[in-house]
Amino acid sequence: MKTLGKKIRLLRHQKGWSQEDVAKRLDISIPAFSKIETGITDINLSRLEQISSLFDMTVVQLLTFNDAEQEKTFVNELETVNRKLMDREVEVIDLQKKVIELFEELRQSKITA
């Protein structure tokens, strides 16, 4: 069941939901949902149906969600994170340039004063 928990966690991350978000939608506690994701708790059929419905899939799709799909999703998430990181690096560089420009302006104003 640990594999199923990992699949559920991956699906949750794809949706951008926290454990709290999913727990509320399933009407269970956060620790109870956490135990589902970690494989500590076995999931009964009605809970499987509830979870698969939450992620817009059938129980069969949820149970057969395979590693190739997980890898593809992981690569997509990694690319997204890398793009965000590059954007932040550009922002930092721009801010560094502005600091240098302001420092130069301040230095020039002290020289002329």
Which of 37-41, 75-79, 104-108 bottoms out in mean pLDDT, i.e. has the lowest? 75-79
pLDDT at 26: 95
Angle between helices 2-15 and 19-26 (to 10 degrees): 100
pLDDT at 3: 84
Give the model's confidence band at 20: pLDDT under 50 very low, under 70 low, under 90 confident, else very high: very high
- The answer on pLDDT for 100 being more than 80 is yes
- The answer on pLDDT for 67 being more than 70 is no
Separation between Cα atoms, residue 56 and residue 52, nearest integer Å: 6
Q: What are the CA-CA distances from residue 42 to residues 1, 73, 103, 112 (Å)?
A: 7, 25, 61, 75
